[in-house]
Chains A and B, each alone.
Chain A
Amino acid sequence: MKNKRFGKKKEIQRLQPNSDLKKGDVIVSVKNLEVQFSLRKLTLTAIRNVSIDLYKNETLAIVGESGSGKSVFTKCLIGMLDENGRISDGSIEYSGVDLVTFDTNEEWLNVRGKRISTIFQDPMTSLNPLRRIGSQITEVIELHRGLDKESAKEEAIKLLERVGITDADSRFNDYPFQYSGGMRQRVVIAIALACQPDILICDEPTTALDVTIQSQILQLINSLKEEYGFTVIFITHDLGVVAEVADRVAVMYAGQFVEIGTVDDIYYDPRHPYTWALLSSLPQLGAKDEELFSIIGTPPSLFNKIDGDAFAQRSNVAMEIDFVKEPPMFKVSDTHFAKTWLLDPRAPKVERPKIIGEISKRVADIYKGSDEK
């Protein structure tokens, strides 16, 4: 509005079409991203110098404890940072534009919901409880794809059927409360898919659901990914779910990716002590008579500048340098990177916890019942 009054309307940056990208091409490239929040005159650095490439039609899972910055990272992609937050450094290349330079809502409208969609944890908070399911889906289709009412309805019913809602025709005019939790999440997925997005961000989509429903929703997301060819960013803290859905995993700690690799890299050959700790504290893998590994302490406060490795305070294999100098991202293989001084050639050899090498065996034992003594 302001711009209009002064007669110089800012030109809206146009996104380039990227339908010619093939599977495995870079679709989003994040470089040196830094996000800060101002809280009570203090500055909190939620994302600290993060770089990652996102490939077309892959599923990237971001794992980490709460407050590590998983959600903040994805919110940068859709311009939904809270009022007091800002991207203070870095760039996000997407379809020929840098998303960091966007500052008006109009610019974001071309991206948010249209090219990049989000599914949140609790479906009830994403749906309007006072409006019928059908109108909530057609709204999106009419707005973003410019279809008329009739064809939007047709399209919406098709979508509802695709996400597994039986007799979508008759349930089209139901209200959200008439749907069960799993069905509501399916509706939210249908809304997210209504514009055939490039990227689907799933922010803990199954945490509020039951195990059986969870596995159905995960399967649905996976099969839709194959069918529509979009890219999925999956935020979760459940390492079981990660193994189920992900192609690549990024482990996040205190606003940084500490380890990035394919699922096999992360589960069978983890390198960062934090990844070790996460994996070995899983109750699934615990044997009855042994104590679970537990991580001591709490994550560092992001209000202060963090010297060295953020995980050093809680790590039992920390070296002196970990408290002084921040480790760079070491390359383990073409797909596998870890940010720990342990990978430096000068570092002493540190044995990783025994449990890491036994994951497959322990999971198999659960169903064989052989850890009973």
Chain B
Amino acid sequence: MSKIIDKIRKKESQPIKIYPEKISNIDEVNGKEILLEVVEADVHFKVGRRIIKACNNLNFKIYRGETFGLVGESGSGKTTISRAIIGINRLHNGAIYFRGENIARKLSRAKRMEAKHKIQMIFQDPAASLNERANVDYVISEGLYNFKLFKNTEERLQKVYKMLNEVSLLPEHLSRYPHEFSGGQRQRIGIARALIIEPELVLADEPISALDVSIRAQILNLLKKLQRERNLTYLFIAHDLSIIRYISDRIAVMHKGYIVELGKSQDIYSNPIHPYTKALLTAIPQPDPKTKNDRVRVVYQQGDIKYEENQFIEVYPGRFVLGNDELIKKWTQK
């Protein structure tokens, strides 16, 4: 894999930028603690002779204790970057700082384990992501085994019981297998599995889109409750803008591998700047029949907006838009 990437780099004759191993994890502007910072991250895939640029120049910070939402259509690169954060995809360029330390480079075993331990993932489809041959007891305690987080069986079971209780499952569920549960319960197992080893950052990749309407609210409430109790930080990935507003503090909108807009979630909704965000917002069906006639649907035409030539500009503190001065002037005028 690394050979291929070296080849790609040679071909593009791009100077390899060296990123420092450690940076300060305190934001200079607002003094908040940065848990995760992604700097100029590119993820490229080589398919045959083609190079697919799945993520390009991504920059964002996630503060401790907040929920950071990542929205975009399928194929926009939102899952790719989250996989890069847990180290499945390698970065072609850029750096990912977790607690101020670059984790997108060759790490010592101890540090790699530490990063794996503190960053956990909740998957979209609980039926597909749980080991169907293992009972719930094993599924939930697998992380404990891997990181040797218990002294004896008693302590392990104690931790498992406590976790089960937190996600509102019963101790008798432990001996059952994932297929015996309903969708909502399975997602609770998925959450328990991820949280039992006490991660700091949880990547939730569309955790509720495979669930039934009546279950979604339960899982969202549970995620919020656990966040309050454990001071968790979420990176919440969704294609559904209506859900992301409720759960997120800040949102990044992705399109074709670029973050086109980033800001506080309320700002994004009430004052979208990038035309793609506008199109996305007007496309959400709202549960209010009256609005269907007055809402003007904007269809996004990329036209001559060239993402690769544009800069990620801070329009006002905390609000970033991909564009150039001229375009941003045009977009903000109306």
Contact = CB atoms under 8 A, between A and B. Distances in A.
Contacts of B292: 243-244
Contacts of A371: 266
A82 interface: no
Nearest to A298: B182
A280 to B, nearest CB: 9
Contact of B214 (A214, A241, A277, A372): A277
Given A212-B283, A291-B221, A360 B290 contact: yes
A267 B287 CA distance: 8
A294 interface: yes
Nearest to B249: A288
Contact of B270 (A211, A219, A278, A368): A368
Among A66, A243, A283, A291, find the residue whose CB has the most chain B CB atoms closer than 10 A: A283
Interface stretch (B30-38, B132-140, B199-207, B234-242): B234-242
Interface in B233-291: 239-243, 245-247, 264, 266-267, 269-271, 279-291
Q: Is the interface of A mostly helix, strand, loop or mixed?
A: helix
Given A212-B73, A283-B220, A237 B213 contact: yes
B300 interface: yes
B224 interface: yes
Q: Is the interface of B mostly helix, strand, loop or mixed?
A: helix
Given A65-B212, A359-B287, A294 B266 contact: no
B267 A369 contact: yes
B157 interface: no
A141 to B, nearest CB: 31
B217 A292 contact: yes
B213 A284 contact: no
Given A214-B283, A371-B266, A366 B245 contact: yes
Among B281, B284, B299, find the residue whose CB has the most chain A CB atoms closer than 10 A: B284
A216 B300 CA distance: 12
A183 to B, nearest CB: 14
A208 to B, nearest CB: 9
Among B214, B239, B266, B269, find the residue whose CB has the most chain A CB atoms closer than 10 A: B214
B269 A238 contact: no
A292 B220 contact: yes
A237 B287 contact: no
Nearest to B264: A372
Nearest to A253: B214
Contact of A294 (B221, B240, B241): B221
A355 B148 CA distance: 47
A65 B215 CA distance: 9
Interface in A343-373: 359-360, 363-364, 366-372
Contacts of A278: 213-214
Given A66-B212, A211-B73, A243 B285 contact: yes
Given A210-B73, A286-B246, A243 B286 contact: yes
B217 A244 contact: no
A281 B287 CA distance: 12
A215 B286 contact: no
Interface residues of A, number: 51
A285 B213 CA distance: 13
A218 interface: yes
A292 B247 CA distance: 11
Among B216, B240, B246, B269, find the residue whose CB has the most chain A CB atoms closer than 10 A: B246
A241 B300 CA distance: 20
B285 A218 contact: yes
B266 A239 contact: no
Interface string B290-306: 11100001011000000
Contact of A240 (B284, B290, B300): B284
A191 interface: no
Contacts of A267: 287-289
Interface in A220-243: 237-243
A94 interface: no
A263 interface: yes
A252 interface: no
B213 A65 contact: yes
B218 interface: yes
B217 A293 contact: yes
A174 interface: no
A122 to B, nearest CB: 13
A369 B283 contact: no
Given A240-B286, A298-B182, A283 B246 contact: yes
A143 interface: no
The 9 closest A-B pairs by CB, nearest first: A369-B270, A240-B285, A281-B217, A292-B217, A294-B217, A210-B73, A284-B242, A215-B283, A363-B288
9 contacts: A211-B240, A211-B280, A239-B213, A284-B246, A360-B291, A366-B269, A366-B286, A369-B266, A369-B270
